[in-house]
Chains A and B, each alone.
Chain A
Amino acid sequence: MKSNYIPPRYKVKIDRDLCIQCGICAKQCGFEAISFKDGVVKADSRKCAKCLRCASYCPAGAISIEERNERIGTGDYWSSQVISNVIRQSATGGILLGAMGSEVKQPPYFDRILLNASQVTNPSIDPLREPMEIRTYLGGKPESVQVAETENGFRLNSEVPAQVRLDVPIVFAAMSYGSISHNAHLALAMAAEELGTLYNTGEGGLHRELRRFGQNTIVQVASGRYGLDIDYLNTGRVIEIKVGQGAKPGIGGHLPGKKVNAEVAATRMIPEGSDAISPAPHHDVYSIEDLSQLIHALKEATQYQKPVAVKIAAVHNVAAIASGIARAGADIISIDGFRGGTGAAPVVTRDNVGIPIELALAVVDQRLRDERIRHRVSLLVGGGIRSSADVIKAIALGADAVYIGTAALIALGCRCCRSCTTGKCSWGIATQDPEKVKRLDPYEGKTRVVNLVKAWAHEIKDIMGGMGLNTIESLRGNRLHLRGIGMTQKELDLLGIKHAGEGA
């Protein structure tokens, strides 16, 4: 028999001098990597995912998870990872699945963009002393405002389509119930309500208990149409047609039947235990004109009270596609970049298909401006937003607001062990195991997510004040406040920014 042996990646180290033999680690480990029997803690490093649940909960601080340096092979091109993949596939004949956003070594453009500040010729603005407005409205905008004279002034004499108010330009990204737990959804919904922003149901429908957060909910219409009926559409604040996802452009999704428990089944409106397959395309959207019909059908169904978004993955021709989406009648274009997260995606797709969000955003914003339709739509972007700096850079490149997924999950406890596909998540996030779901206290989770976004909001205001700006509209698309460093001229041109050192 040929060997399928792959050396384990981590080593669980238990400091026997510190260990008090309480057994908490064994209880907390979601991956059965630690056992506790007869007062002895034993670790099986082969099963460890490095979720750090054990180390986080060990009262004695006795556990450390170390990276093993044991490699397969000797090269860089034929790296240990590459060889492991070949071994796995030769053993199973299957597609390799991965979780979370891609980690491949492509240029991190956000890190190569530097921000501006005021000196002398204009004063920086102190956000503690002056109004600093980051409120944002998503929705389609008319070309102009018409007014009529009245006895004591003027009144509005034209229509403004449905808008949705965001008190912070940060929205929680689509993560379906099924891929994440009820408590994770509840925490995000409560956080969105407290922050005055939105969370996104993903494609798994909307649990009845969460319908009360409807005003803070983006309801997704994906190719599987799970959980979709008129109540669902009417409950949401925004309707998002999901065409693609940054982690897996061009392919559909698959929630294994073992994750489809009674609640998930009821919410998705499918039989318990059945696989939930989302086809790659919407079977009623095979063209741009089909999309336009779907957009208008959803608007008709909801009496034009809700902005309709269309979410696409950032692919090579993203600018033209986005322009078509705007012309098809969408109010919001959501773009998910190459580094967008996922609960499960084929690794070959995740690591090779699509383009970084920075480039996609820059070319979409510019194309829409060239076609004189940028002001008609809102741009919502995600796929690798890690910090307030990324948010500011995205808005200055042209986004109206950003999606965050992974960062919000980290606030809930996720430690990025990339094991979402297993359903064993020790933190109660990417699991439907009731014992594990209970571990995630939605109220504590909400507080941590709110803290995170509030901290970012403070940082955004500080940086804007430094730039001499006090409305977010003045930052949006204001690429004069960005400079690139260590980029080629082509990259700078695509981003529409100058190199560091160049003046205005």
Chain B
Amino acid sequence: MLKEGQVRIPSGCAISGIIDTSGLLFSGQDIINSIALMRERSNGLGGGFAAYGIYPELADKYALHVMFLDKYAQNSTEEVLRRFVDIRLSEPIPTRKHPGVTDIPFLWRYFVSPLKTDIDPDDTIYSLIMKVNESIDGAYIFSSGKNMGVFKGVGYPEDLGEFYRLEEYSGHTWLAHGRFPTNTPGWWGGAHPFALLDISVVHNGEVSSYGANRRYLESYGYHFGLKTDTEVIAYALHLLQRRHHLPWELAASVLAPKTWEQIERLPEEEQELYAALRLVYGHLAMSGPFSILVGFDGGLLALNDRLKLRPMVVGRKGTRYYIASEEAAIRCIQPELDELFYPRSSHPVLIRVGDNESVQGIQEGKSA
């Protein structure tokens, strides 16, 4: 039996996200309750969460969440870590026993800062992750942003939320994922969210263009350890947003491009821009069904595929936005909503923390 990473496993899913644009921190209990409602959309073979704003006292350190299959892998990893970063704090990720969560790897977290100051610290951490995940058997860094963390594993998401004691954390942005893989993944690495630095991705769907997208990214040096859609989405966004400095809205438009007909109906200046994006980044266009939630430092991006082949609904109450696969998963935690809408196909919904004026794409993304 091959484990995930050696084989590509299609999955169905439930996704949920909550963000408070005022920056107010709130407990993980809401997101657990939301994803729990969609239990039938997952099959107990994977679940996870991403939380932003949870480590305020160590906000300037990269928080590395690592799973180890054995102590030897941990020792090897720590040797590598000490060569590249200063470890401010090293501790087990707090968990509690849960009957629904078994076959648990060692789960550890390190709060670090790069030793070298003459190169972009993000680049150091990126190289470190690639090095550990590619070369150390039995070690896997699954979370690497600042003041954020990914918590994931094999099991139902709500069970994993309790296992990781998420109700004890407070964050301003939360993502959750319940997975329905067709095969057993064999280990915890393939669970979602998939994260690289502060970018975390949960996704419901199957990217039919995976092969084309992946081969394009491979020629930029990305290594595909898991063969999942979320991995390819996260790397694509990393390339577009971090290395090529495209704004999130346009990065989203690369993933779910406007049709050529739509482009031709735009004003001339926009035509030029969107045509250039398709010409240059056509290989990152994603075909097939998907609804994606992307968390990043300061906000959240929601995106549906070009044909809206997967469900996604957005609700708002005051400064708090809720995005989920099903309306019920929002109503169960916030029955009274100020508004509710279904994002249109390929129109990104971008919600940022701390700037209520710039909730971009919300209006555009609303369905008529």
Q: Are A121 and B206 in contact (CB under 8 A)?
A: yes
Residues of chain A within 8 A (CB-CB) of B11 are 121
B363 at the interface (CB under 8 A from A): no
Q: Given A163-B279, A477-B211, does the pair A147, B250 have CB atoms closer than 8 Å?
A: yes
Q: Flag if B287 contacts A468 (CB, 8 Å).
A: yes
Partner-binding segment picked from B74-82, B116-124, B267-275:
B267-275
Which positions 95-147 of chain A face chain B at CB distance < 8 Å?
118, 121-123, 125, 130-131, 133, 135, 137, 141-147
Residues of chain A lying within 8 A (CB to CB) of residue B250: 147, 154
Tell me if A463 counts as interface (CB < 8 A to partner B).
no
Contacts of A144 in B (CB 8 A): 244, 280
In Å, the complex CA distance between A477 and B284 comes to 12
Q: Interface residues, chain A, CB within 8 Å of chain B?
A: 118, 121-123, 125, 130-131, 133, 135, 137, 141-147, 149-150, 153-156, 158, 160, 163, 369-370, 372, 374-375, 467-471, 473-481, 503-504
Residues on B with C-beta less than 8 A from A468 are 206, 208, 287-289
List CB contacts (< 8 Å) of B196-227 with chain A.
205-206, 208-213, 215-216, 218-221, 227
B280-A471 in contact (CB<8A): no
CA distance A370 to B7 in the complex (A): 22
B279 touches A479 (CB 8 A): no
Q: Are B280 and A141 in contact (CB under 8 A)?
A: yes
Question: Any chain A CB within 8 A of the CB of B298?
Answer: no
Closest to B309 in A: A123
Pairs A-B, 3 closest by C-beta atoms: A474-B209, A480-B211, A468-B208
Q: Is the CB of B277 within 8 A of A477?
A: no
Which A residues are CB-close (under 8 A) to B247? 147, 149, 154
Distance (whole angstroms) from the CB of A494 to the closest CB of chain B: 16
Which one of A369, A370, A480 contacts B210 once the chains associate, using CB atoms below 8 Å?
A: A480
20 interchain pairs, CB-CB under 8 A = A121-B206, A125-B307, A142-B280, A145-B244, A145-B246, A149-B247, A154-B247, A155-B273, A156-B272, A372-B221, A468-B287, A468-B288, A471-B257, A475-B209, A476-B283, A477-B211, A477-B215, A477-B216, A479-B215, A481-B211
Q: B153: shortest Cβ distance to chain A, in Å?
A: 22
Are A122 and B282 touching (Cβ within 8 A)? no
B279 touches A470 (CB 8 A): no
Across the interface, which residues of A come within 8 angstroms of B275, CB to CB?
160
Interface contact A473-B288, CB-CB below 8 Å: no
Contact for B208 among A118, A146, A155, CB less than 8 A: A118
Chain A residues within 8 Å of B288, by CB: 118, 122, 468-469, 474
The answer to whether B212 touches A475, judged by C-beta atoms less than 8 angstroms apart, is yes
**Residues of A with C-beta under 8 A to B220:** 372
Give which listed residue, A121, A143, A150, A473, contacts B10 with CB less than 8 A. Answer: A121
Q: How far is the CA of A471 from the CA of B212 in the complex (A)?
A: 11
Q: A480 to B212, alpha carbons, bound, how many Å?
A: 8
The chain B residues found within 8 Å of chain A, CB to CB, are 7-8, 10-12, 182, 205-206, 208-213, 215-216, 218-221, 227, 244-247, 249-250, 257, 259-261, 269-270, 272-273, 275-283, 285-289, 306-307, 309
B246→A470 contact, CB < 8 A: no
Please pick, from B12, B218, B249, the residue contacting A369 in the complex, using a CB distance under 8 A. B218
A103 to B244, CA, bound (A): 49
Partner of A147, one of B7, B246, B278: B246
With contact pairs A121-B182, A122-B288, A503-B8 given, residues A471 and B282 touching in the complex (Cβ less than 8 Å): yes
B182 CB contacts on chain A under 8 angstroms? 121
- Are B211 and A141 in touch, CB under 8 angstroms? no
Residue of B nearest to A130 (CB): B307
Q: How far does the Cβ of A156 sit from chain B's closest Cβ, in whole Å?
A: 4
Query: Is B287 a contact partner of A474 (Cβ separation < 8 A)?
Result: yes
Q: B8 and A122: CB pair below 8 A?
A: no
Q: CB-CB < 8 A to B257: which residues of A?
A: 471
Q: Which residues of B contact A156 (CB under 8 A)?
A: 269, 272-273, 276
Q: Which residue of A lies closest to B221 (CB)?
A: A372
Q: Can you name the residue of chain B whose Cβ is closest to the Cβ of A368?
A: B219
Contact of B281 among A131, A133, A145 (CB under 8 A): A145
User: Would you give the shortest CB distance from B184 to chain A, in whole angstroms?
Assistant: 14
The docked-state distance in angstroms from the alpha carbon of A242 to that of B223 is 38
B280 / chain A contacts, CB cutoff of 8 Å: 141-145, 160, 375
Q: What separation, in Å, do the CA atoms of A234 and B154 have in the docked complex? A: 63
Residues of the A chain whose Cβ atoms lie less than 8 Å from the Cβ of B10: 121-122, 504
Q: A471-B287, A504-B7 are in contact. Are A122 and B211 (CB under 8 A)?
A: no
Taken together as a complex, chains A and B put the C-alpha atoms of A471 and B209 apart, in Å, by: 9
Query: Which B residues lie within 8 Å of A477 (CB)?
Result: 211-212, 215-216, 283
Contact among B206, B244, B261, B270 with A131 in the assembled complex (CB-CB below 8 Å): B261
Do residues B283 and A375 form an inter-chain contact, with CB atoms below 8 A? Answer: yes
Given A121-B10, A473-B209, 18 more pairs with CB closer than 8 A: A123-B309, A125-B307, A131-B261, A133-B259, A142-B280, A145-B276, A155-B273, A156-B269, A369-B218, A372-B219, A374-B219, A467-B208, A468-B206, A471-B282, A473-B283, A476-B282, A477-B211, A477-B283
Q: Are A469 and B259 in contact (CB under 8 A)?
A: no
Contact B215 A369 (CB under 8 A): yes
Q: Kindly list chain B residues whose C-beta atoms are within 8 Å of the C-beta of A473.
A: 209, 212, 278, 282-283, 285
Report yes or no: A155 in contact with B211, Cβ–Cβ below 8 A. Answer: no
A503/B7 in contact, CB under 8 A: yes
Question: How far, in whole Å, are A146 and B243 apart by their CA atoms in the complex?
Answer: 11
* B218–A478 touching, CB < 8 Å: no
Complexed CA–CA distance, A118 and B10 (Å)? 11
**CB neighbours of A145 from chain B (8 A):** 244, 246, 273, 276-277, 280-281
Q: Note all chain A residues with C-beta closer than 8 A to B227.
A: 504
Q: How far is the CB of B182 from chain A (nearest CB, A)?
A: 6
- Please give, as numbers and ranges, the residues of chain B lying within 8 Å of A130 by CB-CB distance: 307
